[in-house]
Structure 1
């Protein structure tokens, strides 16, 4: 049940960010839920592989390269989902940063298991 609530909260955050950021577009509520699901799957499967492959760069940059990996995950979701659009890398970087902040706030309101 907690997973479904987290997906719905992420979908709300995606939809709100798409309304306010000029380079991000979501065609509707269902697309926002699909984006949240795809982001969860990509963060579960692809992100650990990318983190492992880029570990030396991540160590050298003291973890800041993880922001680039998050932007790459957003761009991958853009490639997979037809109703979701991100205009470029810098918009994806800003979107991923703001989405992480929104998720932190919303998930802290949700509480722990």
Structure 2
């Protein structure tokens, strides 16, 4: 449970970095300064939703799309990560994604960040 909470914090930091420093111009977060934790609470909320979606829906999508993943030598995983990011944006009104390309790049960055977080937390 602690590993998941730390991963949510890392994902929230990645969302913060992507939107605050305008790394992806099509990925926007509507901050809530009046929330319980201020603007950081918004990023923690989005990180939590993405973590839950990735933990529950992600394995199911990866299993169902296994033939496409094998056929494309793993490149279809980028589409799955984009779909998970789009699903997160659909579940909250605080995150917006402007296009499919932004979702692909954002999903790739979040997948790499999640992998790095898993590597750091498994030690």
Q: Same fold (TM over 0.5)?
A: yes
**Superposition TM-score, scaled by structure 2 size:** 0.80
- Per the alignment, residue 2 of structure 1 pairs with 3
Question: For structure 2, which runs of at least 5 residues remain unmatched after alignment?
Answer: 32-39
Aligned-residue CA RMSD (Å) = 1.8
How many pairs are equivalent?
112
Residues 17 and 99, structure 1, Cα contact 8 Å, conserved in 2: no
**Superposition TM-score, scaled by structure 1 size:** 0.86
2:34 corresponds to 1:24: no
Distance of 1:67 and 1:99 partners within structure 2: 11
What's the offset of the Cα at 1:31? Answer: 2.0
Give the match's secondary structure for 2:73. coil
What's the offset of the Cα at 1:45? Answer: 1.3
Which is helix-richer, 1 or 2? 1
